[in-house]
Structure 1
Amino acid sequence: MVVWERAQPPTRPTPTPLSREGIVRAAIALADADGLDAVSLRKVAAALDAGPMRLYGYLATKAELLDLMVDEVYGEMIAPPRPPAGNWRDALRDTASRVREAALRHEWFADLLGGRPRLGPHALEHTEMLLAALRADPGFGDIDTVMSAVRTANAYVFGALRSEVTERRAERATGLDERQWQQANGPYLVRVLATGRYPVLSEFVHDGTNLAPGVAFADGLDQVLDGIAVRLAR
């Protein structure tokens, strides 16, 4: 039986009462502070001042714990509710914005995006809301067209967020933000570009616009949505 359908043990009057919700909150706090490597049943139990074996009454494996953590974050995306999206582009933009906000609050969440569909109640509700918004738009003739658009948008969003989170982690690991990193590596890059072997890259370095992360994310998403719109118009 999957964890979503498995009942919790009855509450016991112990010095440290447990619940599945409390276990998940403790695990998220550990992951927010130190990443997914800091999450184990033993460490979560220690954070709750409980014996590790007690946790097995609420979940069977670390994989189940990660599923519960991910679903808790999906719950953050659907509450508080926002005004309904006006059209399919608005719906995909709003969803992408929610996912990005969640990933920047919980960087570990970006590591768990993608793969097999998430089947927790919050994840299912999140998916249903998005699919329903696109399915109601007359531009989408059938459910396969809806799913194709969602997969395409998700592929961009998940990849862009992993890149953004990786950059944030690099800043913390090196102590250098993006501008400081550029200054430290600038002299080397100037020498390399001066060889003339990389003319287009040189044009980008000298003349390209360095967009802020949020702006770059929105710009890339708009390019993806433009491509979906062209396909729908065929």
Structure 2
Amino acid sequence: LDAVTMRRVAQDLGVTPMTLYTHVPGKADLLDLMLDTVYQDMPRTPYPPDATWRDRVTAVADANRALYQRHPWVARLPTTRPPLGPGVLAKYEHELRALDGLGLDDLEMDAALAHLLAFVHGTARAALDQRTTERESALSDQEWWDTHGPARFPLASRVGLAAGTAHQHAHAPDHGYAFGLARVLDGLAALIDRDRDRRT
């Protein structure tokens, strides 16, 4: 993202920066357009009629994770005020359909989707941070752990060693994603069941 400047983009397009400013007011607006474009390009195949709600919500999570893997810069953007362009709105509409018809009210649907996307965003940031740290430190996770492991803390040493041995990393993004997504789905199941009980 640091490389995306109005001057650099203008140079790559072969125009003056002032020419670019007649189309885009500034870098923040340029980033909004970039984000809306990648959201517009996300695949939005209809959910199969026989898909369970867990299948649909998992598809939403997986699609967002794939987006972060294709475009890691998206994980670095603030998420509080996304641009309300056609890509963002089409994405929101499609993802809400995964939760529609489950008995959740509109506020619960919005909050459930926001919770799911925040989880995916957090795991994407953690994976990106891990790659950056390994690149900048020139140490693998195992080398770092061997040097800095908590030898004076027996519980931390035991659990950390078990996790590191199982995943061959101090942090295992794929395992963290799968484990966390299952817990998010379990939480949504409890909410759906509670609302169903309340209605009956």
- Shift of the alpha carbon at 1:44? 0.3
2:184 to 221, 224, 228: 224
Equivalent pairs counted in the alignment come to 187
Give me the whole-angstrom Cα distance separating, in 2, the residues matched to 1:232 and 1:40.
46
What is the match of residue 34 of structure 2? 69
What is the match of residue 30 of structure 1? none
Is the aligned partner of 1:95 residue 2:60?
yes
Query: What amino acid does structure 2 have at the position aligned with 1:106?
Result: H
What is the match of residue 197 of structure 2? none
Structure number with the bigger relative contact order (C-alpha 8 A, sep ≥ 6) is 2
RMSD (Å), alpha carbons: 2.0
Q: Deviations over 1:178-210 (max 9, x none)?
A: xx2322441441xx42x3xx3331221232332
Which residues of structure 1 form unaligned runs of 5+? 1-35
Is the aligned partner of 1:199 residue 2:164?
no
What is the match of residue 105 of structure 1? 70
1:50 to 4, 8, 15: 15
1:129 to 80, 83, 94: 94
Q: TM-score, normalized by length of structure 2?
A: 0.84
Query: What amino acid does structure 2 have at the position aligned with 1:38?
Result: A
Worse-superposed segment, 203-212 or 123-132: 203-212
Q: TM-score, normalized by length of structure 1?
A: 0.73
Greater gyration radius: 1
Query: What amino acid does structure 1 have at the position aligned with 2:173?
Result: P
Task: Return structure 1 stretches of 4+ with deviation > 6 angstroms.
Answer: none
Q: Deviations over 1:61-101 (max 9, x none)?
A: 111100000011112213xx435152332222112111111
Give me the whole-angstrom Cα distance separating, in 2, the residues matched to 1:233 and 1:206.
38
Query: What amino acid does structure 2 have at the position aligned with 1:140?
Result: G
Structure 2 contact 60–98 (Cα < 8 Å) conserved: no
Q: Secondary structure at the match of 1:38?
A: coil
Which residues of structure 2 form unaligned runs of 5+? 195-200
Query: What amino acid does structure 2 have at the position aligned with 1:62?
Result: K
Is the aligned partner of 1:114 residue 2:74?
no
Give me the whole-angstrom Cα distance separating, in 2, the residues matched to 1:230 and 1:119.
31
